[in-house]
Structure 1
């Protein structure tokens, strides 16, 4: 597969690959480590896969809700729904707002089943009552933890000794493309810089989660 992030039809470089005198057919989408990747990294196929798997989990939840208590339903939610939402979230979470909202609506549908709400009732308070994080909150948590503990970050104090306002803020790398701006390492820095100073300096991921 040949990745092409710039949408310029007719100008893409399409190299020909031959192995053992056989030309390899170029794929528009491939599955790698459980994630579907397409040429433009639009996450279309992966979002479709997530929604399909979550829908299957919702079907099971709906049937369990007829005779099971909440503790069993929550176990089913964390076994059938939650892993589908969080796997690779820090990567595909930067997809378009429409695609992200589509997955979020699936999560809310599952939560309404847990709390026995109809499709028109708000489930905002239900997330708090059940101790569940919404999909946007899960994305923020995943990206923040990844950036804080897996990436090498520089603060203003590491670059200069002046007492500027941004001395304790983590620095964002210079870039020119939207694709770079949506990288987890870049999104995470912006999120970390918005945290209170006491939380920003914590070195224990479990304390940040709390």
Structure 2
């Protein structure tokens, strides 16, 4: 097996505030030390927290939802719902049992996207609490 050395990095995993720095090399080529790196679609960091990954997921989902708003604004409810289920929801739920958000901040970050989607699908652009919107749509709740 051959390694693509430019794609290889060193990701130290530790909870220490001042970790020991080691330099690693592969076939004589030094590896770059990184603080986070994507692996199998997930973003790993040095403390194995999912904060960066959840921020990226929420950002990507919000961008796709924004594109849906621009292109599907005048469309019917069922078209918007289908677009949400096909384009936005998979990004929010991909491998979620692994990185399941457990802090309130992370949960709110993901639910913000769902609240925007609920208002968009229902054509309700008021700034009210969207909890009732989420409860009225079984397709909006994520597992």
The verdict on a shared fold, with TM-score over 0.5 as the criterion, is yes
- Greater fraction strand: 2
Task: Please give the alpha-carbon distance, in whole angstroms, between the structure 1 residues aligned to 2:36 and 2:103.
Answer: 18
Shift of 1:43: 1.8
Q: What is the aligned partner in structure 1 of residue 17 from structure 2?
A: 9
TM-score by length of 1: 0.57
Indicate if the aligned counterparts of 1:2 and 1:26 stay in contact, CA closer than 8 A. yes
Question: Is the 2:114–2:140 Cα contact (8 Å) retained in structure 1?
Answer: no
* Uncovered stretches (5+) of structure 2, i.e. residues with no partner: 1-10
1:29 and 1:95 map into 2 onto residues whose CA distance is: 20
Q: Which residue number in structure 1 is paired with residue 5 of structure 2?
A: none
Counterpart residue number, 2:137: 130
- CA offset at residue 109 of structure 1? 0.9
Aligned residue for 2:95? 88
**Which residues of structure 1 form unaligned runs of 5+?**
139-210
- Residues 91, 14 of structure 1: CA spacing in aligned structure 2 closer, same or farther, 3 A cutoff? farther
Structure 2 SS opposite 1:9: coil
- Which of 59, 77, 81 is equivalent to 1:74? 81
* Larger relative contact order (Cα-Cα within 8 Å, sequence gap ≥ 6): 2
- Relative distance call for 1:130 and 1:40 in structure 2 (3 A) is same
Deviation of 1:95 after TM superposition, in Å, equals 4.5
**Residues 1:123 and 1:23: Cα distance change in structure 2 (over 3 Å):** same
- What's the secondary structure of 2:13's corresponding residue? coil
Larger Rg: 1
CA contact under 8 A between 1:3 and 1:40: conserved in structure 2? yes
What TM-score do the two structures reach when normalised by structure 2?
0.80
Q: CA deviation at 1:130?
A: 3.0
Give secondary structure in 1 for the equivalent of 2:118: helix
Aligned residues between the structures: 133
Cα deviation 1:98-148 (Å, max 9, x = unaligned): 12211111111111111122252233333343332424xx1xxxxxxxxxx
